[in-house]
Structure 1
C-alpha cells in the first residue's frame, strides 16, 4: 500500500484524493493549501460552490470522505465535481502529468458516483498528484537566479492568464535533463527560476542562453531567448500566437 493511501480501508469512501506537491522544492506541500469544492449544474450549465470541507490526512492527502453517499444510490446519477486549490506563493497545475496543457482548466474535475454501505462505489479512487508551481511571490531561497516578465496575446496585447512558462536543458557535467516552470498570474506576469546552466558558446564562455516557452493551450504558444547575466533584470515579453 502506498503511503498516500491512508483511507483505503476506511468505511467512508472518498471519490478523490489529491496530493499537493511543491514542484520547485520537490516535496509534498499541504500547509496553507486551501481546497474548494464545486458541483456542475447540468441545468444551468455552471459550477456551484459546495460547503463540503476537505479532510487532510497525516500523509498529505486532501480527501472528501462520504462524498456521493446516498440512501438509494441506484436512483441517482454520477455528478460532475471539481476541486480548486489555492496557496500563497503558488499556482496549481491542473492537467495531470502527460496531459496537454490548457490555461482554461480551472480545477481537478472528477465524477462522484452514488454509493452506500451495501452498494460500493462503481469506481475506485487513486491518489492524484497536483503540482503547485511557483508564482511571482514564491519564496525562493536567497540568491536564487530568476527571470521575470509578462505573457501577452500577440494580436490584442491583452495579458494571458495562467499561461505555462517553462525552460528546459541539460547540465554540462553529466547531461542530466532539467525542467523549470511557472504559471502567469492575472496580469500575465511570471517569475521563472533558472537554477541550472544554460547553453554556452564554448566551455569558458560567460554568457548562458535559455529558451523560454509559454503555452496557453495546444497550438497557441510563444517563445524567446534569454541571455544571462545581461538579461537578468530585463522584463521579458512573451507573445502568444496561433502556431
Structure 2
C-alpha cells in the first residue's frame, strides 16, 4: 500500500529466557513503507548457536495494526525465528516478509465523501471491548480502540441494507444490520456475546 498518514513506529523485541525484551535495533524504512532489520542472526561463529526468536511490534497514531496470521490481542506482534549465520555459513532458510495491516481508528481523518459508520463495541456487562474486529464483507475492516470505539469506512457500498460483522479475541461475535446512508449519523452500540 501507500505510506500511511500519521506516525508509525516499529519496535524489535527478542525473546531472552522466555521474556520479550526491547532491542536497540532501528528498522530500515523503504519509500513504500516497508520496514526491515538487516543482519539479524549474524554472529562470529554460528556453529552450535541457537536460533533467535523475535517479535516486531507496530504502533500507529491513527489506528491499530492487524498482524498477518494472528489476531491482534492474541499475538501482540509479528513473530519470527532467525537462524544464526555468518558469511561462511548462510542460514538454511530465509525469513519471509509479514504483512502488518494498519487499520484506521476512530480519529482517522476520512475524506468527507467517504461514508463512515461510527460506534462502540461492548460486552454483555457494558464494558468496552478493545481490539474487536469490525468488518463489512471482505472489503473493509477496522479494530475498536481501548474505549471500544470504531470508525468503519464504507467506501465500496451503495445505498440500502448492509450487515456489519463484529468479533473479538475471545471469539464473541455480533452482526449489526444498518441502512446506508440513513444509519450513519448516530453512534451505534454493539454488544458482542
So what's the TM-score if we normalise by structure 1? 0.71
Corresponding residue of 1:51: 24
Q: Any unmatched runs of 5+ in structure 1?
A: 1-26, 169-177, 199-206
Q: CA deviation at 1:221?
A: 1.5
Matched, 1:167 2:145: no
Distance 2:4 2:48 in 1: 36
Distance 1:29 1:129 in 2: 14
**Which of the residues 91, 96, 99 maps onto 1:121?**
91
**Which of the residues 213, 221, 237 maps onto 2:165?**
213
Q: CA deviation at 1:197?
A: 2.6
Corresponding residue of 2:191: 239
Q: Any unmatched runs of 5+ in structure 2?
A: none
Between 1:124-133 and 1:106-115, the stretch displaced more is 124-133
**Which of the residues 173, 176, 184 maps onto 2:144?**
184
Distance 2:186 2:31 in 1: 43
| Cα offsets for 1:153-184 (capped at 9, x unmatched) | 22x3222111110112xxxxxxxxx6111111
**Which of the residues 134, 143, 167 maps onto 2:113?**
143
Q: CA deviation at 1:218?
A: 7.1
Q: Conserved in 2, the CA contact under 8 Å of 1:153 and 1:160?
A: yes
Corresponding residue of 1:83: 56
Between 1:137-146 and 1:109-118, the stretch displaced more is 137-146
| Cα offsets for 1:93-141 (capped at 9, x unmatched) | 11x2xx4645322111111211111111232133332221111122211
Q: Conserved in 1, the CA contact under 8 Å of 2:135 and 2:142?
A: yes
Q: CA deviation at 1:75?
A: 2.8
Distance 1:74 1:161 in 2: 45
Matched, 1:72 2:45: yes
**Which of the residues 19, 23, 29 maps onto 2:3?**
29
- Partner of 1:121: helix, strand, or coil? coil
Between 1:186-195 and 1:127-136, the stretch displaced more is 127-136
| Cα offsets for 1:38-97 (capped at 9, x unmatched) | 1123x3x33211111101134532111111111121232112211111222131111x2x
Q: Conserved in 2, the CA contact under 8 Å of 1:180 and 1:192?
A: yes
Q: Conserved in 1, the CA contact under 8 Å of 2:65 and 2:72?
A: no
So what's the TM-score if we normalise by structure 2? 0.88
Q: Conserved in 2, the CA contact under 8 Å of 1:102 and 1:216?
A: no
Distance 2:185 2:166 in 1: 19
**Which of the residues 150, 154, 158 maps onto 1:194?**
154
